[in-house]
Structure 1
Amino acid sequence: MGLIDIELFATLDFVGQAPGGPDEDPVGFPFGGWQAPLVDEVTGEQISAAYAGTDALLLGRRTYDIFAGYWPHQEEGEIATLFNSIPKYVASRGKPELPWAGSNLLGPDLADAVREIRDRHERVKVVGSLDLVQTLLREKLFDRLDLWVHPVVLGVGKKVFDGGEVPTNLTLLAPPAAGPKGTVHLRYALADGTPRTGTMGEPDREDD
């Protein structure tokens, strides 16, 4: 069984909408492209390293349309070569045309379709796709969560955690890594169980 990795860029108030450019998702959102001024060499290297070994993309419809309008026209660069060569799986309630080579529309039972993708591939990346992410969070259908938190607060926009989250434990895979412009990279893995509770000041005791 392979791994499903969620890759997300967020503000300090966990807005994840349209980080890459003003035209990504402009309706009612005035801050499209908020990530661009905060990308530095360290963050760029972290993002490139995160895609190592990826052999499939899992995308929501809106993110797919953005990617399909850009990446097929890029002939140079490691990410362009990777994205254009691997299978793309698209979650959509409709029956859209999928012109990007290697694209596949998922069936109506999204949870089962994602499990089949996990069985078929070693490393599946979910990029952006905030509506899809809510389903993956709700069903705990992910194995890793890469989160880049940027030092801005927007106050409006679609959130990374926006109704799909359920009580979940995560394990930090590596110490947080900050770039010179203040973006912090957090890497988590899904863990067993649900969050425990306790009283501050009392010793931590494992359940019998």
Structure 2
Amino acid sequence: MRKLRIIEHISLDGVIQAPGGRGEDGDDYPHGGWIAPFRSPAGCEAVIEAQGTSFDLLLGRRTYDIWAGFWPNAGDSPLANGLNAATKYVATHRSDSLGWGPVSDLGADIIEGIRGVKSTNGPDLILWGSSTLTSVLLGQGLVDEVVLFVYPVLLGQGKRFFTNSVEPSELAFVSSKATPTGVLINTYQYVGQLQT
């Protein structure tokens, strides 16, 4: 059975929207590109380490479209090569337009599609982005690990990592590292329902 790991770039106030650049989400979010001042070789190495050497991707449709427009043309690097080689499992209703492969849509029932992929043999699944999928997957108990790249910024507005509909849950702390630019990489394992 495969493990599912969520990896996110996140601000101190929980925003994950448009970390890479303006217009990234197809809108006019005013703070797009907020991770750029904190990029470092150590941060890139931490992303590669968090993903592992062999992985497949689980992506929402919007993240898939953004990445399909960038990563195939990003040049030869361990990060780009890993993302381009990974099988992309996409939550979409428009499977006819999935050109960045190898790729497979998750079908009409996304949760059952993810359960099916998780039950197969293969590399771990990595979910980047998708403020919509994260809360649903945690609520369904489908997430094994959460890795947060926490940036020392407050954005005040934007799509949040967890929506108000997230199920109360408990995560166990695994590890924390810091990059020279002040990004904290915190890793947690999913435990289950919140105990009070």
Question: Paired residue for 2:155?
Answer: 154
1:184 maps to a residue whose letter is: L
- Structure 1 position 3 matched with structure 2 position 3: yes
Structure 1 residue 41: deviation in Å? 2.8
Distance 2:103 2:130 in 1: 16
2:6 maps to a residue whose letter is: I
Q: Please, which moves more after superposition, 85-94 or 64-73? A: 85-94
Question: Paired residue for 2:37?
Answer: 37
Structure 2 spans left out of the alignment, 5+ residues = none
Equivalences, count:
195
- TM-score, normalised by the number of residues in structure 1: 0.87
2:194 maps to a residue whose letter is: P
Change (3 A) 1:127 1:171: same
> Residue 25 of structure 2 contacts residue 66 of structure 2 at CA under 8 Å; is this kept in 1?
no
Query: Please, what is the CA RMSD of the aligned residues?
Result: 1.6
Change (3 A) 1:172 1:89: same
Structure 1 residue 94: deviation in Å? 4.1
Question: Paired residue for 2:194?
Answer: 195
Change (3 A) 1:107 1:64: same
> Residue 54 of structure 1 contacts residue 125 of structure 1 at CA under 8 Å; is this kept in 2?
no
Question: Paired residue for 1:100?
Answer: 100
Give deviations 1:28-77, integer Å, cap 9, x for gaps.
41011101111223222211111213331000011100111111123401
Question: Paired residue for 2:181?
Answer: 181
Distance 1:184 1:80 in 2: 22
State the secondary structure of the residue aligned to 2:127: strand
Greater C-alpha Rg: 1
Distance 1:32 1:86 in 2: 26
**What is the 5 A alignment of 1:37-116?**
37-95=37-95, 97-116=97-116
Structure 1 residue 162: deviation in Å? 1.3
Distance 1:17 1:132 in 2: 14
Give deviations 1:174-202, integer Å, cap 9, x for gaps.
2x21222221111001114x3333xxxxx
Structure 1 segments, 4+ long, off by >4 Å, are none
Structure 1 residue 93: deviation in Å? 3.8
Distance 2:68 2:123 in 1: 23
